């Protein structure tokens, strides 16, 4: 089963958020990942991030996000110390607003056997602008002195029937998101971390918070 964030659940005012993609293929070798990436193999050790991204001046790049997220203690932070990163990659993208202006939206994702973690960066968006626009379980937080919002996202389960060459969808698991301001005054710019499991078990909020508190201070642009 492949779990992806439901595009219908995204808020209209949050077009920079890219769909989460968690890959879990049961008994299917050679699974393809759609994002541009350099994939590591659990057979040859922990996955390493792509180094092919072009340097981007004055803003955080996908390669930098991937380097910050793909840390050696990530499995321990997630509560699965016996695991290791199986895929790790960064992706450079952007969205265009109604005025035609493009806003960069770099992201990075690291997947383990149990969990996947994704990190986004925005140069302009403030946490306060989106209060009350998330799911009903939205919860205000403070992460290392920075304003933050914790909320849930529904995923869609993608079922592949190789015998009939058919693909079906259905309700998937839950992804937990944490949107955090880049500075203590929420003056502009934010980071977002999401975790989800490869099964239908709800992810652990304490694991998400541990990851945020260790990863975010190492990302360029964190104040």
Question: What gap in Å lies between CA 160 and CA 172, rounded to an integer?
Answer: 14
* Residue 42: DSSP 8-state: T
Would you state the pLDDT for residue 3? 40
> Is 36 part of a structural domain of the chain?
no
> Is 104 part of a structural domain of the chain?
yes
Question: What gap in Å lies between CA 209 and CA 177, rounded to an integer?
Answer: 10
Q: What are phi and psi of 112, to 5 degrees?
A: -115, -175
Per-residue confidence in pLDDT tens, the chain, 223 aa: 334 444 333 333 333 332 333 322 222 222 222 233 334 444 567 899 965 556 555 689 999 999 999 999 999 999 999 999 999 999 988 777 778 778 788 999 999 999 999 999 998 888 998 777 766 788 999 999 999 999 998 766 666 666 666 676 666 678 999 999 999 999 999 999 999 998 878 999 999 999 999 999 999 999 8
Give the chain's end-to-end CA distance (angstroms, integer).
39
Would you state the pLDDT for residue 124? 83
> Is 81 part of a structural domain of the chain?
yes
Question: What gap in Å lies between CA 73 and CA 210, rounded to an integer?
Answer: 11
Number of domains the chain contains? 1
> Is 35 part of a structural domain of the chain?
no
Q: Residue 141's Cα: distance from chain center in Å?
A: 18
Question: What gap in Å lies between CA 48 and CA 66, rounded to an integer?
Answer: 9
Would you state the pLDDT for residue 192? 95
> Is 33 part of a structural domain of the chain?
no
- In the predicted model, what is the mean pLDDT of the chain? 76
Nearest CA to 105 out of 69, 64, 62 is that of 62
Question: What gap in Å lies between CA 176 and CA 219, rounded to an integer?
Answer: 20
Would you state the pLDDT for residue 177? 94
Are the beta carbons of 96 and 67 closer than 8 angstroms?
no
Are the beta carbons of 87 and 24 closer than 8 angstroms?
no
Question: What gap in Å lies between CA 153 and CA 48, rounded to an integer?
Answer: 27
* Residue 78: domain span: 2-26+45-52+59-218
Would you state the pLDDT for residue 104? 82
> Is 141 part of a structural domain of the chain?
yes
Sign (positive/negative) of CA torsion 141, 150, 119, 9?
negative
Are the beta carbons of 110 and 50 closer than 8 angstroms?
no
Are the beta carbons of 54 and 90 closer than 8 angstroms?
no
Question: What gap in Å lies between CA 167 and CA 154, rounded to an integer?
Answer: 19
Structure tokens that stand for 25 in this block: 């293929």
Nearest CA to 158 out of 141, 148, 147, 171 is that of 171
> Is 77 part of a structural domain of the chain?
yes
> Is 39 part of a structural domain of the chain?
no
Are the beta carbons of 194 and 14 closer than 8 angstroms?
no
């Amino acid at each position: 089963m492949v779990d992806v964030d439901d595009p219908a659940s995204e808020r209209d005012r949050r077009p920079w958020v890219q769909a989460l993609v968690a890959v879990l293929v049961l008994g299917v070798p050679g699974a393809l990942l759609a994002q541009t990436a350099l994939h590591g193999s659990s057979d040859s050790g922990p996955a390493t991030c792509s180094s092919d991204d072009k340097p981007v001046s004055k803003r955080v790049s996908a390669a930098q996000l991937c380097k910050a997220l793909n840390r050696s203690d990530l499995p321990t932070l997630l509560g699965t110390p016996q695991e290791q990163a199986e895929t790790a990659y960064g992706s450079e993208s952007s969205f265009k607003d109604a005025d035609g202006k493009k806003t960069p939206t770099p992201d990075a994702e690291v997947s383990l056997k149990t969990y996947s973690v994704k990190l986004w960066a925005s140069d302009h968006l403030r946490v306060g602008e989106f209060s009350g626009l998330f799911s009903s379980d939205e919860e205000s937080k403070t992460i290392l002195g920075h304003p933050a919002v914790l909320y849930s996202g529904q995923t869609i389960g993608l079922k592949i029937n190789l015998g009939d060459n058919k693909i079906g969808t259905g309700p998937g698991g839950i992804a937990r998101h944490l949107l955090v301001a880049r500075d203590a005054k929420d003056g502009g710019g934010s980071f977002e971390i999401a975790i989800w499991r490869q099964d239908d078990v709800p992810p652990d909020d304490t694991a998400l918070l541990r990851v945020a508190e260790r990863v975010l201070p190492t990302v360029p642009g964190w104040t």
